[in-house]
Structure 1
């Protein structure tokens, strides 16, 4: 008679998490099309060209203010972020009170992609339609990312989170890069397709909207709804309860000073990162004199390098800890904006080298910031805390874009504007050095990973 005990049962919980993680990765794949093709490369130069058609004495009137066409995209992004700062925390409070986070993610993604598709109809001198469409699309982009990152906490434990986040970012850069490659061919060889360059740009932006909408179906179908946990008790309807939870979080945030310190640090260094991303195409076309096709090719290089960079940063975090690796990435950003100040116009090789540098640090710093912050927030408030996080996050920076736009407005050159961003990395890095990782994780009631 056998004396061996019963065979161990497979860890079905782990298998279920892996299945959801694979579906979750595809939202980064989906929304990166908007982040790269539209926000990163084509929107800003195209909006400038449209605004220049409407300009009188090289100025347009924006809400009664005289604005240079070249500064318009920076101010459009700023406006989008001001609105985000008001709305996203409320959306986060709503999300924490419902199991239906995947429905909220997909809903905002599909509304955002619909407004992104309206950019196809921006022609002539109608810059107003372009500005409004981008503001709404960018707002929905940030809102959907709140729910996406909150879901990260539900489908991974503390030990897995750096790797899961990094894989998501890597797949995002791969997806965004693939569509960008197709759009590069379309824009660069538009005459071969019987198109004007403007029409090729419009089709490319439309393709990004359709990509975003279409691939969002994968996480919508593959994720499941998770029960809410540790939600503050409040009374009234959904809106009243959400305001109640938001007020409770604002009142009690002093209990999580480490998370608050990281948020302030992130406000600075991520504003710098997002402004570099949003302004790189303007810098390449307007200041360095490269064609739109050349800038697209450089973005392809950035996307390819960023895949390896995100995965590499994830592996480095497993060995050295996320905080140390993020600080190393911020040092790299300081070197990049300093080099950009002296980059010679029309010199393609230095421009490609600079693009490679951006790719190395881009995905890694963002992926690890997301997973690092998730360790510092209490369970049950993931969406609400990530809503504050995303009010400052990619495509929604406002301090950086405002500084960039103002420096250009007063100097007429993008060189001092891009170099001015070094201050954001210096301040953000200095604040991050003050963050006590172990204390922050313990204060939030989460498990402390083996490597900090």
Structure 2
């Protein structure tokens, strides 16, 4: 049983081990992508890097079809690479936002992108649910797949990889290849580093952008930890009633249903928070979202039953969509007049992924040290407390620092 898996020599439970694999994938991206983004800006090759990371992630996810008993390290390695492929591709994907939309449309376009992503994930999740469910208990799933050797679950990884690579072709077809006509010159690695260093110096002179990145860093630590590890938490602490009224752990069908609920509500939440930002401003909308996340953490600490978890999932979906869409569009709005979008977004996404690394590591360590997953909610809630303060302190208008200030 994977839930009882322990590396005997180190005493690491499965819940912690999975979070460490995610952390490794995000850390890999955080280390290599800043330089790659500088190269992408110098050579005008954002789209090529987007494709490379996309195919890495899709192939790694599809490769999990071969995961099974006795192949623990293969599974962990593929999880890490799939995570790296997804997160690495987002850096270059996000960097297209300032190039395909005017600043006044950033919130709307960012929210629409997330909304379409949430709805698309629902379609695939429904298909995967039909692939694994065996309501009659006759050893055959709803789609006629024999339920042996984990075949239905392994096939879902294959479908995700194919879906990922397949639908990416729409973006690859319409996104501009090199809108500023840049060409590689001289030593690509050295010039990529110089491009990145130039952007770093410019970034450090913008007080509002610096303050926002710091707030986003902590805010995202909480959000991503919840997103990636909520199911692990639910399996450990949430109970349900079995067919005879007995108390049992929450079932996989209930968990999949809660994920569907999150995705559907998130699609609505993304558009709803655009309205909030139009009324009160982006920073105010994000501050409201942060406060809701904190309240959800308080509620999660006391959740015990599946019915309570469904309500919590609806709340997570509502605020998740708005938080992700507005975080990205707010950063795009705060950028100076520049064409080095990949380099600028590399700092945004490195903040995103380093925050995710620290958040998932904290989750794994707290559980490993205390043996109680409820204690992880306390540390996640503390992230939102700090983020709330930092968001309030972000200047509402840009203030340039003195030249050379750090």
Common topology (TM > 0.5): yes
Partner in structure 2 of residue 272 of structure 1: 222
Q: Is the 8 A contact 2:119 2:263 kept in 1?
A: yes
Shift of 1:77: 1.4
1:251 to 194, 201, 213: 201
Residue deviations 1:394-435 (CA, integer Å, cap 9, x gap): 797111111111110111111111232011111112111111
Residue deviations 1:360-404 (CA, integer Å, cap 9, x gap): 000100100000001122312211121122123379711111111
Partners of 1:304 and 1:310 in 2: CA distance? 10
Residue deviations 1:175-220 (CA, integer Å, cap 9, x gap): 0111112212222327332214832221112211111000000011
Q: What is the count of residue pairs matched by the alignment?
A: 383
1:217 to 145, 169, 175: 169
Residue deviations 1:286-313 (CA, integer Å, cap 9, x gap): 2222112211110001111111111111
**1:138 is aligned to 2:83:** yes
Residue deviations 1:72-99 (CA, integer Å, cap 9, x gap): 1111111122222211211211221233
Partner in structure 1 of residue 384 of structure 2: 425
Shift of 1:129: 0.7
Q: Is the 8 A contact 1:116 1:205 kept in 2?
A: yes
Mean Cα deviation higher: 253-262 or 393-402: 393-402
Partners of 1:186 and 1:221 in 2: CA distance? 31
Q: Is the 8 A contact 1:92 1:384 kept in 2?
A: yes
Partner in structure 2 of residue 170 of structure 1: 115
Alignment of 1:1-16 (within 5 A): none
**1:114 is aligned to 2:114:** no
Partners of 1:168 and 1:308 in 2: CA distance? 12
Q: Do the aligned partners of residues 395 and 123 (structure 1) sit closer, same or farther apart at CA in structure 2, a change above 3 Å counting?
A: farther
Partners of 2:389 and 2:8 in 1: CA distance? 39
Partner in structure 2 of residue 263 of structure 1: 213
Partner in structure 2 of residue 386 of structure 1: 345
Q: Is the 8 A contact 1:98 1:228 kept in 2?
A: no
Q: Is the 8 A contact 1:184 1:297 kept in 2?
A: no
Partners of 2:162 and 2:352 in 1: CA distance? 23
**1:238 is aligned to 2:188:** yes
Shift of 1:266: 1.1
Q: Do the aligned partners of residues 224 and 180 (structure 1) sit closer, same or farther apart at CA in structure 2, a change above 3 Å counting?
A: same
Q: Is the 8 A contact 2:208 2:397 kept in 1?
A: no
Residue deviations 1:214-247 (CA, integer Å, cap 9, x gap): 0000011122224339x9x997411110011122
1:352 to 310, 319, 342: 310
Q: Is the 8 A contact 1:91 1:143 kept in 2?
A: no
Partner in structure 1 of residue 246 of structure 2: none
Partner in structure 1 of residue 257 of structure 2: 297
Q: Is the 8 A contact 2:43 2:184 kept in 1?
A: no
Partners of 2:250 and 2:297 in 1: CA distance? 18
Partners of 1:139 and 1:396 in 2: CA distance? 14
1:364 to 306, 311, 322: 322
Q: Is the 8 A contact 1:169 1:363 kept in 2?
A: yes
Q: Is the 8 A contact 2:29 2:353 kept in 1?
A: no
Partner in structure 1 of residue 242 of structure 2: none
Residue deviations 1:24-61 (CA, integer Å, cap 9, x gap): xxxxxxxxxxxxxxxxxxxxxxxxx4485xx5xx3345
2:49 to 91, 101, 104: 104
Residue deviations 1:246-301 (CA, integer Å, cap 9, x gap): 22233343212221221111111111100001111101112222112211110001
Structure 2 portions without partners, runs of 5+: 239-248, 402-406
**1:87 is aligned to 2:32:** yes
Q: Do the aligned partners of residues 149 and 128 (structure 1) sit closer, same or farther apart at CA in structure 2, a change above 3 Å counting?
A: same
1:343 to 303, 306, 314: 303
Partner in structure 2 of residue 436 of structure 1: 395
Q: Classify the secondary structure of the residue corresponding to 2:335.
A: coil
**1:202 is aligned to 2:202:** no
**1:324 is aligned to 2:266:** no
1:410 to 338, 356, 369: 369
Q: Classify the secondary structure of the residue corresponding to 1:224.
A: coil
1:192 to 131, 136, 140: 140
Q: Classify the secondary structure of the residue corresponding to 1:421.
A: helix
Q: Is the 8 A contact 2:41 2:343 kept in 1?
A: yes
Partners of 1:100 and 1:78 in 2: CA distance? 27
**1:311 is aligned to 2:274:** no
